[in-house]
Amino acid sequence: MWLLSVCLAAPAAAASDDICASAGLRATRVQAEARIDHDDRTYSKVFSTVTLTVPMSWTYADELLLSKDSDAYRKAMRCLARGSMSGLDTRWEEWRSAEPEVTPTADPTGVRTSRDEWLRVRLVAHAWVDQEGSFPVGPWTLDVGKAHWTLRLTPPAALKSAWWEQVTVDPGRPGALSAAADGVDPDGDTAPGTGATAPRAGTDKGRSVLVWPSDTAVGAPAVAVRVEPSWPRSFSAQDDSSPYAAFDAAGGLLWTVALVLTLWYALRVLPRHGVPDPVEQRAVANLRGWSLALLVVSVVVRGPDIYLGAIGAFGGDASEEWDAQAVHAPWAWLTSAVAGAVLLYFARVPRWLALTGGVLGAGAVVPAVLWAVGGFDPGRFVRPGSPGGWTVAAVVVAGVCSFALPLLGGAAAVRRLLVDGGLRPNRRARPRPWPLIGGVLAVVAVIGVCYLVASERDWNRASWLSPHMGAPDYGGWHRSDLRNNLLWFTPNARWWWFAMLWVPTGLAVLAVLRSRVAGTAADSLARRGPQGADRLLLLLLFPVMAAMDLGVYTASGAFVWCWFFLYLVALASVLRLTRGRAVAARPLDRSGEPLGTALSASHRAGLLDRARRHRELHAQLRRLDQGQPDEGTSRRDLETRLRRLHRWRTAAGRPDRLPSGVSVVDAALALGPCRTWWENGVKAARLTQPIALPLSAGLVWTNQLRGEALTGTLYDRLGLPDVLTQLVLWQVGYAAAGFLFGALWQELPGRRGPVKAIPLALAYAAPIGVFALGNWGLGEEQTALAFGAMAILLVLTLTGLMMDLETFRGEHPYWRGRLSLLRSVYQMRYMSVQLAWVLAQAAAVVTVLQYLADNGGMPPQFGGGGR
Beta bridge mates, 104: 119
| Nearest CA-CA partner of 61 in 90, 102, 32 | 102
Name the phi and psi angles at 132, rounded to 5: -80, 165
Enumerate helices (H) and strands (E) in the chain, giving the number of each: 26, 15
Q: Are residues 214 and 293 in the same domain?
A: no
Name the phi and psi angles at 80, rounded to 5: -80, -35
What is the share, in percent, of the chain residues with pLDDT greater than 90? 50
Range in 403-407, 629-633, 669-673 the model is least confident about = 629-633
pLDDT bin (cut points 50, 70, 90) of residue 112 is low
Beta bridge mates, 656: 648
Higher pLDDT, 235 or 580: 235
396-415: pLDDT as tens digits: 999 999 999 999 999 999 99
**Top-confidence range, 277-281, 384-388, 557-561, 850-854:** 557-561
Please give the Cα distance from 819 to 147 (Å, whole number): 63
285-340: pLDDT as tens digits: 999 999 999 999 999 999 999 999 999 888 765 556 778 888 999 999 999 999 99
> Is there a domain that residue 153 lies in?
yes
Query: What pLDDT is recorded for position 4?
Result: 45
Q: Are residues 144 and 69 in the same domain?
A: yes
Run of H or E residues at 27? none
Q: What is the mean predicted confidence (pLDDT) over 777-806?
A: 91
> Is there a domain that residue 508 lies in?
no
> Is there a domain that residue 323 lies in?
yes
> Is there a domain that residue 585 lies in?
no
Q: Are residues 294 and 232 in the same domain?
A: no
Helix axes 331-347, 351-372, angle to 10 degrees: 160
Does residue 661 contact residue 796 with C-beta atoms inside 8 Å? Answer: no
Does residue 616 contact residue 622 with C-beta atoms inside 8 Å? Answer: no
Does residue 561 contact residue 247 with C-beta atoms inside 8 Å? Answer: no
What is the share, in percent, of the chain residues with pLDDT greater than 70? 87
Model confidence at 804: pLDDT above 50: yes
Find how far residue 110's CA is from the centre of its chain: 53
How many structural domains are present in the chain?
Answer: 3
> Is there a domain that residue 255 lies in?
no
Model confidence at 181: pLDDT above 70: no
Q: Are residues 202 and 293 in the same domain?
A: no
Query: What pLDDT is recorded for position 319?
Result: 53
Q: What is the mean predicted confidence (pLDDT) over 355-383?
A: 87
Sheet-wide strand order for 224-227: 133-137, 140-144, 149-153, 224-227, 176-179
Q: Are residues 295 and 188 in the same domain?
A: no
| Nearest CA-CA partner of 548 in 709, 764, 743, 722 | 764
Q: What is the mean predicted confidence (pLDDT) over 776-805?
A: 91
46-94: pLDDT as tens digits: 999 999 999 998 999 999 999 998 989 999 999 999 887 677 888 999 9
Please give the Cα distance from 309 to 329 (Å, whole number): 14
Q: Are residues 194 and 316 in the same domain?
A: no
Model confidence at 814: pLDDT above 70: yes
> Is there a domain that residue 58 lies in?
yes
Model confidence at 163: pLDDT above 80: yes
Query: What pLDDT is recorded for position 182?
Result: 42
Please give the Cα distance from 708 to 716 (Å, whole number): 12
Q: What is the mean predicted confidence (pLDDT) over 536-560?
A: 92
Query: What pLDDT is recorded for position 852?
Result: 65
Residues in the chain: 867
DSSP H helices, 499-603, are 502-515, 525-528, 533-541, 561-577
Query: Which one of 480, 501, 522 terminates a domain?
Result: 501
Model confidence at 43: pLDDT above 90: yes
> Is there a domain that residue 495 lies in?
yes
Run of H or E residues at 319? none
Residue 77 exposed, middle or buried by CB count within 10 Å (0-12, 13-18, 19+): buried
Q: Are residues 293 and 150 in the same domain?
A: no
Query: Which one of 185, 211, 237 terminates a domain?
Result: 237
What DSSP string describes 649-712? E-TTS-EEEPPTT--HHHHHHHH-SSSSHHHHHHHHHHHHHHHHHHHHHHHHIIIIISTTHHHH
Query: What pLDDT is recorded for position 428?
Result: 64
Q: Are residues 611 and 480 in the same domain?
A: no
| Nearest CA-CA partner of 698 in 861, 847, 502 | 847
Q: Are residues 608 and 485 in the same domain?
A: no
Q: What is the mean predicted confidence (pLDDT) over 613-630?
A: 77
Query: Which one of 452, 483, 501 terminates a domain?
Result: 501
Considering the entire predicted model, what is its pTM? 0.91
Q: Are residues 392 and 462 in the same domain?
A: yes
Q: Are residues 232 and 294 in the same domain?
A: no
- Domain residues for 324? 281-501
Please give the Cα distance from 408 to 720 (Å, whole number): 22
| Nearest CA-CA partner of 823 in 813, 386, 833 | 833
Contacts of 148 (CB under 8 A, 6+ apart): 177, 226, 227, 228
Q: How many CA atoms lie within 13 A of 728 on its CB side?
A: 7
| Nearest CA-CA partner of 120 in 100, 99, 103, 98 | 103
Query: What pLDDT is recorded for position 190?
Result: 42
Model confidence at 194: pLDDT above 50: no
Q: Are residues 300 and 426 in the same domain?
A: yes
> Is there a domain that residue 830 lies in?
no
